[in-house]
Chain A
């Protein structure tokens, strides 16, 4: 089986994975206390009205029947309607997803902008002062919760300088860019240390390999060695770590979006949970699961493209 087979197998594996996630999300929300009917008809509704709504929603049916019905709808792309607003959940997600994608894109970009140069420098000068300084700074960054970093950036950067808004996403493209910088930096600070460490380790290992030593003995220049051999061979494990971190970024978005009041899916799931809007919670959770699966899949594909050993292994 070649690389195409490897990718196909990965794609097929996502199907049972997503089905399992749908089941898990459904069951978890099913066993949590609270009456969805009350959410829909309001505090003053009578028992008869509540019963009527339960009947209409099929909440009196066996759980298995409810699950299969929900699964059928999901497979047809129907995530249901919000209990609160009666809007299609897919519309709510579509409204919020771009903000989160902005955050992820900028967060990933800043992570790479921080980690690639620092990872390279530390790999080139292992156990030197610069290496210790970068690793120490990374350790400090890891101990700081992202919501705290966000608040510090708001108080020390946004408020005094006025260069960036203290929160929100703005109305225009320039507003969006200004609004996303501090949240993206916050995200990058929380994951860049992992990325730097991964890149440093990979590069050191590659630089110590026989083929690099051979190249060096053949008179290849260090820049050429780095470009042609070291970076390329150090990339696959770094990409895997990046994929893991992007998955982490998604969940970090819940905290960051709340801290910076960004109207993305992270904030959406918080608001849906607070309002016990079950269809919305299910929709957002599935979206997160889908995004994580997609990110890991893309990472697998990229690794397969870059690393011939993937083909051999598969």
Chain B
């Protein structure tokens, strides 16, 4: 999972005061699309394609799960919809010491869990122990040595290495605050009926069915949430989601498929591009261990055709492998690869590699765009004499194959889910450079340096460096930088989504 970033105000403060703390921005983001005064009441009907992974934060694997978790098990801080900043939430301010080895979070006055019990720093410390123990995300919290609780309103995180990105991590859905000792219950009982300090409480839920949330009467932000309830349904078929949205059964359709985008008409919101589709070449196998072969493949791909075809215009040829519109994004200093068949043929001829075999591309068959993309790639590479075998795998099997770095090529996409480059860089690091089999030693050093960097400039330099490295090695080829699409009814007010598609329900109200 990605990281979080200091707010821009905090970043300015960092530049100005070297050994001082960074502080937060003024408050939760106002809704840019809001008009008129918020109206209290009503039920927001949300439809999505992804199943909910349950209330165990460590098991969250889908955007839909992150989105839902945030509403109930709210973390210490919140992300801004601009995709670049962190805002106060349960924690009103956060500072770090001169060496960035200690972070101090100050909690909002009078925060309560939805059962009315007070939320204190002891709950924060307990929550951290739960996050760190998780087999999935636990490793991401290993940099936290200890959480001290000098008083009920102060949580002090001691880090094992300099870290300036902890607040970003504290906005993740996997960093939700839960009551100490699960409020006296077992973990299983808690996960079945969780209690949090988020804007909503759980009325009922099932993993692949309906989730009903109700307003938390003890929510710490005065007056919020405006909605009485949020009702979420899972509808796996994209056409059916579009039709039900058109019929007025739903107010928000999350993650609209490009195939059905036109059906949403004026209700479609195309967020700034934040996802990157990539073709990863297995550098541990011939002929992809040959840099010239990789460069030849990069020059044989029709990037504009991909953006205009499968993505129907909701994408563009990417500058680099890191997703844009995320805090501390910086483009590469090198030019992105472009379609140049003569160059591709020349590179391949000069590589000395034997490319007469048939090479397997695996992709997630659950992603309709990826099947089409794979066919385009097959045609593109055939133009330089490289034959591809396309293997669409069901998601679970695909993930297993990809992590095992067994196939010749992997076609997949990724993006940030929090407002800082720490997030996607961490994903690249955790996946052997996007399943290419790279040893990532150099990337690990850059990742650590990024985490320790106290200035924006230093972080941006590292980001450019990583972008350039990928272009130089050509191991993970960025194919398209695409947009997340949302369907939002005209009666929804206060909707403000981050580029990756996550948003908060508490600022939303219904008009009419």
Is B one of A's binding partners? yes
Q: Is the CB of A259 within 8 A of B237?
A: yes
B340 within 8 A of A: no
Please tell me which stretch of A61-69, A161-169, A191-199, A223-231 contacts chain B, meaning at least 4 of its Cβ atoms lie within 8 angstroms of it.
A161-169
| Min C-beta distance of B66 to chain A, whole Å | 13
Q: With A35-B396, A35-B400, A85-B207 as known contacts, state yes or no: A44 contacts B54, CB within 8 Å.
A: no
A302 within 8 A of B: no
A273 within 8 A of B: yes
Q: How many residues of A contact B (CB 8 A)?
A: 47
Please tell me which stretch of A210-218, A235-243, A261-269, A306-314 contacts chain B, meaning at least 4 of its Cβ atoms lie within 8 angstroms of it.
A261-269
Q: Is the CB of A87 within 8 A of B396?
A: no
Q: Is the CB of B54 within 8 A of A84?
A: yes
Determine the residue in chain B with the shortest Cβ distance to A272: B208
Q: Which of B240, B244, B400 contacts A34 (CB 8 A)?
A: B400
A39 cross-chain contacts in B, Cβ below 8 A:
396
B387 within 8 A of A: no
Q: With A33-B397, A159-B246, A165-B247 as known contacts, state yes or no: A96 contacts B209, CB within 8 Å.
A: yes
Q: Which of B52, B135, B393, B395 contacts A274 (CB 8 A)?
A: B395
B395 cross-chain contacts in A, Cβ below 8 A:
274-276
Binary CB contact string for chain B from 124 to 148 against chain A (1 if under 8 A, 0 otherwise) = 0000000000011101100000000
Q: How far is it, in angstroms, between the C-alpha of A66 and the C-alpha of B53 when the chains are bound? A: 26
Determine the residue in chain A with the shortest Cβ distance to B243: A166
Q: With A96-B209, A261-B235, A275-B395 as known contacts, state yes or no: A44 contacts B140, CB within 8 Å.
A: yes
Determine the residue in chain A with the shortest Cβ distance to B241: A261
Determine the residue in chain A with the shortest Cβ distance to B430: A44
Q: How many residues of B contact A (CB 8 A)?
A: 44
Q: How far is it, in angstroms, between the C-alpha of A32 and the C-alpha of B430 when the chains are bound? A: 26
Q: Is the CB of A260 within 8 A of B240?
A: yes
A92 cross-chain contacts in B, Cβ below 8 A:
206-208
| Min C-beta distance of A305 to chain B, whole Å | 39
Q: Is the CB of A167 within 8 A of B249?
A: yes
A151 within 8 A of B: yes
Q: How far is it, in angstroms, between the C-alpha of A10 and the C-alpha of B239 when the chains are bound? A: 43
Q: Is the CB of B236 within 8 A of A258?
A: yes
Q: Is the CB of B135 within 8 A of A271?
A: no
Determine the residue in chain A with the shortest Cβ distance to B245: A166
Q: With A35-B396, A42-B137 as known contacts, state yes or no: A167 contacts B240, CB within 8 Å.
A: yes
B61 within 8 A of A: yes
Binary CB contact string for chain A from 91 to 112 against chain B (1 if under 8 A, 0 otherwise) = 0100110000000000000000
A3 cross-chain contacts in B, Cβ below 8 A:
none
Of B53, B191, B233, B235, most A-chain CB atoms within 10 Å: B235
Q: Is the CB of B396 within 8 A of A46?
A: no
Q: With A42-B135, A261-B235 as known contacts, state yes or no: A167 contacts B393, CB within 8 Å.
A: no
A46 cross-chain contacts in B, Cβ below 8 A:
135, 139
Q: How far is it, in angstroms, between the C-alpha of A166 and the C-alpha of B239 when the chains are bound? A: 11
Determine the residue in chain A with the shortest Cβ distance to B188: A86
Q: Is the CB of B396 within 8 A of A38?
A: yes
Of A168, A260, A263, most B-chain CB atoms within 10 Å: A168
Binary CB contact string for chain A from 41 to 79 against chain B (1 if under 8 A, 0 otherwise) = 111111001000100000000000000000000000000
Q: Is the CB of A33 within 8 A of B401?
A: yes
Determine the residue in chain B with the shortest Cβ distance to A95: B206
Q: Is the CB of A154 within 8 A of B243?
A: yes
Q: How far is it, in angstroms, between the C-alpha of A272 and the C-alpha of B206 when the chains are bound? A: 13
Determine the residue in chain A with the shortest Cβ distance to B391: A33
Q: How far is it, in angstroms, between the C-alpha of A53 and the C-alpha of B207 when the chains are bound? A: 21
| Min C-beta distance of B47 to chain A, whole Å | 8
A155 within 8 A of B: yes
Q: How far is it, in angstroms, between the C-alpha of A43 and the C-alpha of B206 when the chains are bound? A: 22
Task: Give the contacts of A9-27 with B (CB-CB under 8 A).
Answer: none
Q: How far is it, in angstroms, between the C-alpha of A2 and the C-alpha of B316 when the chains are bound? A: 75
B403 within 8 A of A: yes
Q: How far is it, in angstroms, between the C-alpha of A97 and the C-alpha of B247 when the chains are bound? A: 26
Q: Which of A42, A44, A167 contacts B235 (CB 8 A)?
A: A167
Q: How far is it, in angstroms, between the C-alpha of A45 and the C-alpha of B243 when the chains are bound? A: 39
Q: Is the CB of A151 within 8 A of B239?
A: yes
Q: With A42-B61, A96-B209 as known contacts, state yes or no: A271 contacts B236, CB within 8 Å.
A: yes
A134 within 8 A of B: no
B210 within 8 A of A: yes
Q: Is the CB of B400 within 8 A of A38?
A: yes
Binary CB contact string for chain B from 399 to 434 against chain A (1 if under 8 A, 0 otherwise) = 111010000000000000000000000000010000
Q: Is the CB of B139 within 8 A of A271?
A: no
Of B241, B244, B366, B395, most A-chain CB atoms within 10 Å: B244
A294 within 8 A of B: no
A38 cross-chain contacts in B, Cβ below 8 A:
396, 399-400, 403
A286 within 8 A of B: no
Determine the residue in chain B with the shortest Cβ distance to A39: B396
A270 cross-chain contacts in B, Cβ below 8 A:
236
B58 within 8 A of A: yes
Q: How far is it, in angstroms, between the C-alpha of A273 and the C-alpha of B397 when the chains are bound? A: 11
A122 within 8 A of B: no
| Min C-beta distance of A208 to chain B, whole Å | 48
| Min C-beta distance of B165 to chain A, whole Å | 17
Q: Is the CB of A168 within 8 A of B401?
A: no
A298 within 8 A of B: no
27 A-B contact pairs sorted by A residue (CB < 8 Å):
A33-B401, A34-B394, A35-B396, A38-B399, A38-B400, A39-B396, A43-B136, A44-B136, A44-B139, A49-B135, A84-B51, A84-B207, A86-B56, A162-B247, A165-B244, A166-B247, A166-B249, A167-B240, A167-B249, A259-B240, A261-B240, A261-B241, A263-B208, A268-B208, A272-B208, A274-B394, A276-B397
Q: A41-B136, A261-B236, A274-B394 are in contact. List 15 more A-B contacts (CB 8 A).
A: A34-B399, A35-B396, A42-B61, A44-B430, A45-B136, A46-B135, A53-B135, A85-B52, A85-B208, A95-B209, A159-B246, A165-B244, A166-B240, A263-B233, A272-B208
Interface on A for B, CB 8 Å cutoff?
A: 32-36, 38-39, 41-46, 49, 53, 82, 84-87, 92, 95-96, 151, 154-155, 158-159, 162, 165-168, 258-261, 263, 267-268, 270-276
